[in-house]
Amino acid sequence: MIVGLLNQKGGVGKTTLSVNLAASLARNGTRVLLIDADPQGSALDWAAARNEEPLFSVVGLPRATIHKEITQIGQGYDHIVIDGPPRVTDLARSAIMAADVVLIPVQPSPYDIWAADEVVKLIGEARVYKENLKAAFLVNRKIANTAIGRDVGEALAAYRVPVLTASVTQRVVFAEAAAQGLAVHEVDEKGSAAVEIEAVVAELLELMQ
């Protein structure tokens, strides 16, 4: 499975999700590659902060040729996660063309919901060439027990892109883990954050069947 995380709005938690989804996939003994396609290189920074053995491979590829290079770069890997760029560019188009499924992280905020329009349009364009390309919204940094957290699914329904049932709540452990180059399951294997990430991965794998 090749999953690309994209949203033209910065600060939606793409890198945090990319790292933790890759870590969750790697826990099952599968070989996972994380491609950092964001020119800021945050996933590479995460890997550099890590003192433990690597959970998965991380490579930087912030250029608009990912879809052409992915077969060669991804050889021997079971899953590939692409941490996409924060803006709609040729690089974002390339990441979408390389993916089997595009995950669009959105925070429960009207700005995030409006900003998703550009990525949805790009996915529509890509489906002209890749008709089996799948896509889904993932509600990230959800604040528990708030009206906007509950209503975000309804607000996204207008896009005709499914919203994953699993969602990820705003938790301090994500930042604490990132600072040490760790995944949340390494900090607290049975904690709520790890459980939420596992649920997202399970739903993604189900979507790809």
CB–CB of 177/153 below 8 Å?
no
Q: What pLDDT, on the 0 to 100 scale, is given for residue 123?
A: 95
Q: What pLDDT, on the 0 to 100 scale, is given for residue 148?
A: 63
**Percentage above 90 pLDDT, the chain:** 78
Q: What pLDDT, on the 0 to 100 scale, is given for residue 150?
A: 66
Which helix (H) or strand (E) segment holds residue 32: the answer is strand 32-36
pLDDT tens digit string along 11-42? 789 999 999 999 999 998 999 999 999 999 99
Q: What pLDDT, on the 0 to 100 scale, is given for residue 143?
A: 83
pLDDT tens digit string along 128-153? 999 999 999 999 998 877 666 667 87
156-191 burial, b at 16+ Cβ within 10 Å, e below that, comes to beebebebbebbbebbeebeebbeebbbbbbbeeee
- DSSP-derived 3-state class of residue 52: coil
Q: What pLDDT, on the 0 to 100 scale, is given for residue 149?
A: 62
Q: Which amino acid is it at 18?
A: S
Which helix (H) or strand (E) segment holds residue 118: the answer is helix 110-126
Is the predicted pLDDT of residue 99 greater than 70, yes or no? yes
- Mean pLDDT over 92-120 rounds to 92
**Domain extent for 17:** 2-207
Helices (H) and strands (E) in the chain, counts: 9, 6
pLDDT tens digit string along 156-196? 888 889 999 999 999 999 999 999 999 999 999 999 999 99
Q: In CATH, what number is assigned to the domain containing residue 111?
A: 3.40.50.300
CB–CB of 62/36 below 8 Å?
yes
- Mean pLDDT over 60-74 rounds to 96
pTM of the complete model: 0.95
Per the structure, the count of domains in the chain is 1
Q: What pLDDT, on the 0 to 100 scale, is given for residue 9?
A: 77
Q: What pLDDT, on the 0 to 100 scale, is given for residue 154?
A: 80
CB–CB of 184/20 below 8 Å?
yes
